[in-house]
Structure 1
Amino acid sequence: MTISPVYSGRPDTLREPVEQRVYELLDALHIPYQRVDHEPAYDMDACAGISEALGITICKNLLLTPRNRSAFYLLAMPADLPFRTADFSKKIGSSRLSFASPEDLQALLGVQPGSASVLGLMNDTEHRVTLALERRVAEAEWFGCHPCRNTSSLRLKTTDLLHVFLPHIGVEPIIVDL
Structure 2
Amino acid sequence: MELQNGRPANTDERLDKEVRVYDFLDKLGIEYQRIDHEAAMTMEACEEIDRTLGDNTAICKNLFLCNRQETDFYLLLMPGDKPFKTKDLSAQIHSARLSFAKPEYMEKYLDITPGSVSVLGLMNDSEKKVQLLIDEDVMKEPYFGCHPCINTSSLKFTTEDLTKKIIPALGHDPITVSLPVPEV
> TM-score range with shorter-chain normalisation?
over 0.9
Partner of 1:17: 16
TM normalised by structure 1 equals: 0.96
Q: How does 1:27-176 map to 2 (within 5 A)?
A: 27-55=26-54, 56-176=57-177
Q: Percent of aligned pairs with the same residue?
A: 51
The answer to whether the Cα contact below 8 Å between 2:67 and 2:98 also exists between their aligned partners in 1 is yes
The answer to whether the Cα contact below 8 Å between 1:138 and 1:175 also exists between their aligned partners in 2 is no
Task: Name the stretch that deviates more: 51-60 or 74-83.
Answer: 51-60
1-side partners of 2:137 and 2:7: how far apart? 27
Deviation per residue, 1:64-92 (Å, 9 max, x gap): 00110121010000000000011111111
2-side partners of 1:172 and 1:107: how far apart? 20
Structure 1 residue 168: Cα displacement: 1.4
1-side partners of 2:52 and 2:144: how far apart? 14
RMSD across aligned C-alpha pairs, in angstroms?
A: 0.9
2-side partners of 1:10 and 1:148: how far apart? 14
1-side partners of 2:18 and 2:136: how far apart? 27
Matching residue's letter, 2:6: G
Q: Residue 26 of structure 1 aligns to a residue in which SS? A: helix
Q: Which runs of 5+ in 1 are unaligned?
A: none
TM normalised by structure 2 equals: 0.93
Q: Residue 127 of structure 1 aligns to a residue in which SS? A: coil
